[in-house]
């Protein structure tokens, strides 16, 4: 195997280890949630409140950010250099953040109908608690949009370790809260810790971005050819990524109408988290590394085909 191939194997292996560690921490986090709250009203309210913003983000952006932004960002790097590529990144992040904020504000205004939409079988007191928690957690949509965009920039610049460690940081913050602060601050404090954990996913990437020479500056020049290209790629990708979040919403609705709705929705969430361990460790780790490389090979079909065969 070539030196380049050995390096790729080492990178993927290290990413898998970091991702696996983050997923294990996620299981520990869920164990603490179950131990501290079980299937109580507070536990069920927090669980549905934490899932709704992520489901909305997955429907609108999620994978579309990396799948659409990375190819065009890489194209700009190759054709125009880092300075122009970084300008494109600034415009993209500004556009995504603006759109996310508008969606977030609308969701906050209609938090109660959204809670009933996802969990029509919940008791009234559970929804009454879920609504204020949901309003507090909608800003995670913005943090996720920024974090995913930063991940796209770093992966395009061949930095994979920090993006792979995002869940380690957020899960670590929640575990710390469960151990040391939960008894004092309860479910509202847990909601704040969750918010901080998601914000940290964006913040911890900033030093690495600075080392690469990237500094975010708001740029509202949305009439940009690069953004138009990203938009054309994003629409079909968005449609493809709707399947999983819509499926979750349907499952949650049915689960909430079982004999014990809170038990059904929470159990479904725990089972889904177990499933994502396999996908996150053994699939996404490889995909996250090879996708930026594939984006650089679009004009060299021979090299692209060889890279695909080696990946498989």
Mean per-residue pLDDT of the chain: 83
User: Nearest-CA neighbor of 149 among 191, 108, 97, 112?
Assistant: 97
Residue 169 burial (10 A CB sphere; 0-12, 13-18, 19+) = middle
CA 119 – CA 110 distance, rounded (Å): 14
Q: Return the percentage of the chain with pLDDT > 70, whole number.
A: 78
Nearest to 230 by CA among 120, 114, 52, 66: 66
Q: pLDDT tens-digit profile of 53-80?
A: 988 887 767 666 777 898 899 999 999 9
Q: Residue 251: what pLDDT? A: 79
Pick from 86-90, 267-271, 305-309 the range whose average pLDDT is largest: 86-90
CA nearest neighbour of 64 among 237, 226, 294: 237
| Domain coverage including residue 254 | 3-311
Indicate the pTM of the whole model.
0.84
- Do residues 50 and 286 lie in contact, with contact meaning Cβ atoms separated by under 8 Å? no
Q: How many domains are contained in the chain?
A: 1
pLDDT, tens digit (0-9, with 9 covering 90-100), for 233-242:
887 777 766 7
**Over 60: is that where the pLDDT of 197 sits?**
yes
The tens digit of pLDDT for each residue in 6-46 reads 666 676 677 778 878 888 898 899 889 989 998 788 988 99
Banded pLDDT at 296 (limits 50, 70, 90):
low
Q: Which of 197, 200, 191 is nearest to 50 (CA)?
A: 191
Measured distance CA(281)–CA(72) in Å, rounded: 26
| Residues 75/293, Cβ–Cβ less than 8 Å | no
Task: Tally DSSP H helices, then E strands, for the chain.
Answer: 16, 0
Q: What confidence score (pLDDT) does residue 301 get?
A: 56
Burial class (CB in 10 A: 0-12, 13-18, 19+), 240: exposed
pLDDT at 207 over 90: yes
C-alpha triplet 309, 310, 312: angle, nearest 5°: 65
CA distance 126 to 123: 5
Measured torsion, CA atoms of residues 18, 189, 36, 26, in degrees rounded to the nearest 10: -10
């Amino acid at each position: 195997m070539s030196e380049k191939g050995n390096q790729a194997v080492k990178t993927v292996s290290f990413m898998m280890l970091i991702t696996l560690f983050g997923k294990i921490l996620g299981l520990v986090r869920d164990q603490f949630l179950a131990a501290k709250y079980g299937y109580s009203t507070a536990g069920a309210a927090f669980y549905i409140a934490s899932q709704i913003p992520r489901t909305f983000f997955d429907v609108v952006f999620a994978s579309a950010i990396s799948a659409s932004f990375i190819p065009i960002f890489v194209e700009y790097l190759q054709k125009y250099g880092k300075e122009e590529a970084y300008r494109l990144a600034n415009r993209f992040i500004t556009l995504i953040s603006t759109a996310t904020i508008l969606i977030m504000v609308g969701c906050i205004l209609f938090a109660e109908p959204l809670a009933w939409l996802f969990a029509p079988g919940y008791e009234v007191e559970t929804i009454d608690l879920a609504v204020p928690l949901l309003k507090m957690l909608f800003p995670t949509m913005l943090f996720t949009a920024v974090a995913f965009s930063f991940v796209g920039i770093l992966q395009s610049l061949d930095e994979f370790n920090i993006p792979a460690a995002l869940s380690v940081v957020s899960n670590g913050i929640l575990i710390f809260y469960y151990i040391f602060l939960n008894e004092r601050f309860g479910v509202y404090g847990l909601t704040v810790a969750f918010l901080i954990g998601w914000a940290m996913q964006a913040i911890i990437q900033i030093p690495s971005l600075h080392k690469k020479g990237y500094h975010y500056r708001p740029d509202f020049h949305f009439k940009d050819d690069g953004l138009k290209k990203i938009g054309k790629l994003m629409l079909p990708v968005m449609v493809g990524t709707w399947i999983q979040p819509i499926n979750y919403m349907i499952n949650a609705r049915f689960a909430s109408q079982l004999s014990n709705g809170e038990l059904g929705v929470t159990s479904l969430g725990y089972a889904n988290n177990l499933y994502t361990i396999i996908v996150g460790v053994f699939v996404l780790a490889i995909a996250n590394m090879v996708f930026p490389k594939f984006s650089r090979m679009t004009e060299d079909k021979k090299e692209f085909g060889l890279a695909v065969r080696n990946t498989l």
